[in-house]
Amino acid sequence: MNDRNRHPDRNRPSQGNPGPGPDGLSDGRLVEVHSQLARDKEEPREGFSLTPIVIVFIFCGFGFWGGLYLTRNSGNFASTAFDVNAPKAAASAGPIEFEPDAAKGEKLFVAQCAACHQPTGLGVPGAFPPLAGSPWVAGNEERLIKAVLAGLAGEIEVKGVKYNANMPNIGAGLKDAQVAHIATYVRQAWGNTAGPVMDSQVAVVRKAIGARGQYVPADLLKEHPLETK
């Protein structure tokens, strides 16, 4: 009997040491490989990432900004709220022409001047001269404009009566248009019939006199004498 027949189980894998499988690895080697892969794999960890929270806050911020923008600029979603031709129309219209407004002048006069000259324009006897029928406010516009812009200090004679009052420079804190409105009102109220005053006239006088002090009435008359009827 040859060796092959004498030892028929020599090439057969033993029950305790299985032979290689279809992939060429024995069961023992396959277990070792699986164990190594399990060790190398990162274990899952519990916790959270800040990235999703940051993204949520960013989207909330955009939503808040968008809502605020729509609230301020939506024009109530009216189709007539915005006119694309409006800027062109405004540009072609040119500068707005000033119109003296005695009604606006009256409101300014009540707030700035009526305490001394009274709403009736009659002034206070012995203290503040009248404006009604006063030659100081009629005639040359610059005389009245200068008195409003710079003020008056010293003796002044109105309608044969002398006054020694101190008129502040109320026009220094007003715009040219406001001074023009006041002067127009004074020249046309209480029976006065003088013409209106333009804001351009006030601007010229303001530039000419600068930030000077109060006028002495006699000096102002040298520049603009009272008109004789």
Domain ranges of the chain: 102-223
Considering the chain, what is the average pLDDT of its residues? Answer: 82
Alpha-carbon distance of 171 to 22, in angstroms, equals 109
Structure confidence at residue 163 as a pLDDT band (50, 70, 90): very high
Alpha-carbon distance of 113 to 158, in angstroms, equals 17
Angle 91-96-98 from CA coordinates, rounded to 5°: 170
Q: Among the CATH numbers 1.25.40.10, 3.40.50.300, 1.10.760.10, 3.40.930.10, which is that of 102-223? A: 1.10.760.10
pLDDT digits over 70-81, tens only?
777 766 666 555
| Inter-residue contact 122 to 132 (CB < 8 Å) | yes
* pLDDT above 80 (res 64): yes
Alpha-carbon distance of 17 to 32, in angstroms, equals 15
* pLDDT above 60 (res 210): yes
Contacts of 166 (CB under 8 A, 6+ apart): 151, 152, 153, 214
Q: Give the pLDDT of residue 43.
A: 61
- Residue at token pair 């794999």: 41
pLDDT digits over 10-37, tens only?
445 545 555 555 556 566 776 776 677 7
Q: How distant, in Å, are the alpha carbons of 19, 29, 34, 222 from that of 25?
A: 8, 6, 12, 125
C-alpha of 6 from chain center: 111
| Inter-residue contact 122 to 206 (CB < 8 Å) | no
User: Any idea what DSSP says for residue 76?
Assistant: G
* pLDDT above 90 (res 111): yes
Contacts of 184 (CB under 8 A, 6+ apart): 100, 101, 102, 105, 196, 197
Lowest average pLDDT, out of 61-70, 87-96, 165-174, 180-189, goes to 87-96
